[in-house]
Chain A
């Protein structure tokens, strides 16, 4: 109400999602992936958890039966793209500069000129970070969070948001489990405490343990999608 010439500020209700631009673009990407028939898997984890070794093994194994490609995000360098390219799959590096996560626009730009229709799987390796990537939908079909035995069993409790946002957890470097006195049962309980019922795989990219089961799981998920 205004009285005697003074006026009150005008407040207007808006109710708009802060990330609506990213979410809209992610929806478009999701539709594009579905039209192309490509199953898109994103990988998130802290730096040094073995994402790239795990992805390199995954690409190499899938190469026998499927057509794959990968995008890999880092702040700087194309070292990971060079490593992943050894699998024979097409790989593109996204260097984010100072940004601590990928977003849908970066993914869209990196895909420019690629024919998704010829692919069965596209992998997106996010920047190593357990906080920032959780808020940004990339349009992926399936999000995997990695936890290495060297990080300790309580990571899921310390970073619940990212574990909660994922569809599956993979425990990596299990060949080092004993040396790190890693308690697998506790780790599984902690993952399920923040994400009840989430599927968990245990692998070692180095020795190959658990990799065949993971590949089989992926193929099944793709057929079910």
Chain B
């Protein structure tokens, strides 16, 4: 279950990026997960539900796009406007 480590890294990256883009709440995080990355999307979603508590992403949906290859990317953030 290294998806918890992955979820926590994902939130760190998103918080960092969000901080450089103003102070509006994040409403969604978009990620790409490669089939060869060793990360299981369902496990990542479950881990994210736990990891996001008390972070800047506490109210942000996780949107996972499954892709071929090794990619593990935060691709976009959605902010309340």
> A: which residues have CB within 8 A of B?
7-22, 99-101, 103, 131-132, 134-136, 160-162, 164-165
Contact = CB atoms under 8 A, between A and B. Distances in A.
Contacts, number: 91
Nearest to B14: A14
A20 B15 CA distance: 13
Interface string B16-39: 010001001001101100001111
Nearest to A134: B38
Given A14-B77, A20-B9, 4 more contacts: A11-B76, A15-B75, A135-B2, A160-B36
Interface residues of B, number: 30
Interface of B: 1-2, 5-6, 9-10, 12-14, 17, 21, 24, 27-28, 30-31, 36-39, 72-81
Contacts of B72: 17-19, 135
Contacts of A10: 24, 78-81
B36 A17 contact: no
17 contacts: A9-B78, A10-B79, A11-B28, A12-B76, A14-B14, A14-B75, A16-B17, A16-B74, A18-B10, A18-B72, A21-B9, A99-B5, A132-B2, A135-B6, A136-B5, A161-B36, A164-B36
Contacts of A135: 2, 6, 37-39, 72
A11 to B, nearest CB: 5
Contact of A100 (B1, B24, B75): B1
A196 to B, nearest CB: 14
Nearest to A101: B2
Given A101-B2, A135-B2, A12 B38 contact: no
Contact of B81 (A7, A100, A101): A7
